[in-house]
Amino acid sequence: MPVNIKTENKCQHPIVAVDMTIFTVQENTLQVLLIQMKKKPFQGKWALPGGLVKINETLDEAAKRILAEETNVRNVYLEQLYSFSDLNRDPHQRVISVAYFALINAQGIKLKTIPKYADVQWFSIKKVPSDLAYDHKKILKYALTRLKSKLEYTNIVYGLLPKKFTLSQLQKIYEVILNRKLDKRNFRKKILFLDLLKPTSSFQKGKHRPARLYEFKKRKPMFVEIL
């Protein structure tokens, strides 16, 4: 009995990919990493970086691998979001995508331009092309919602910050992501009361009065009511 290899390769089951929504905050804006596609049917379109899950790796491992392909960074905050499975989300074959989001501190990160993609770039969240490939617009929207809500009840913001930072930098990140102004005194009162931070003896030099630098006591995800 002849076997249709093509069909068998596509297999009778959906295959699984991971798509990464990689966030950073730079220049006082929330940014997301997009890649530009080389091949049809999405040639020239921008998309979230992603890839198929290999037979011998977990989803988390696949997500870390894909993250490393574009950025070099390791030990970043990584979280599984949701699995997207519309039948026609990929016109080429039946792919179920497990979406992840990552938070990275883009200071000193060099993006790799790899042959797989035409280009790799940070996009301000307000300037993301509205015609992303696949269902990536939907995924990005989902990721943004999750990011906003997790900022309010966890400490994951550490993922966006360098080791030492000022309280103003920290507050600015909250403001940029939540898209609203926060009261300086209330913000400081709350965040210091939570006992997540420890003051260092260093100060950030600048044009004005130097600001004390703080660091997180623990860079591990924790649940805490921040806002």
Partner DNA sequence: TCAAAAGTGTTCGTTGTACACCCATGC
Partner DNA sequence: GCATGGGTGTACAACGAACACTTTTGA
Q: Is 68 in the site for a copy of itself (CB under 8 A)?
A: no
Q: Is 40 in the site for DNA (CB under 7 A)?
A: no
Decide whether 203 or 223 has the Cβ nearer to DNA: 203
Q: Rule CB under 8 A: choose which of 26, 45, 65, 96 binds a copy of itself.
A: 96
Decide whether 141 or 189 has the Cβ nearer to DNA: 189
Q: Rule CB under 8 A: choose which of 29, 65, 82, 111 binds a copy of itself.
A: 82
Decide whether 119 or 152 has the Cβ nearer to DNA: 152
Q: Is 225 in the site for a copy of itself (CB under 8 A)?
A: no
Antiparallel, parallel or unpaired: β 15-26 and 95-103: parallel
Stretch that binds a copy of itself, among 85-93, 110-118, 139-147, 157-165 (CB under 8 A): 85-93
Q: Is 20 in the site for a copy of itself (CB under 8 A)?
A: no
Task: Give residue for tokens 């977990």.
Answer: 58
Which among DNA, a copy of itself, none contacts residue 12 (Cβ within 5 to 8 A by kind)?
a copy of itself
Q: Is 167 in the site for DNA (CB under 7 A)?
A: yes
Instruction: Give the angle 148-224-139 at the CA atoms, nearest 5°.
Output: 25
Amino acid code (one letter) for 50: G
CA torsion, ordered 91, 97, 103, 104, to nearest 10 deg:
-60
**Residues binding a copy of itself (CB under 8 A):** 3, 5, 8-9, 11-16, 52-60, 80, 82-83, 85-87, 94, 96, 98
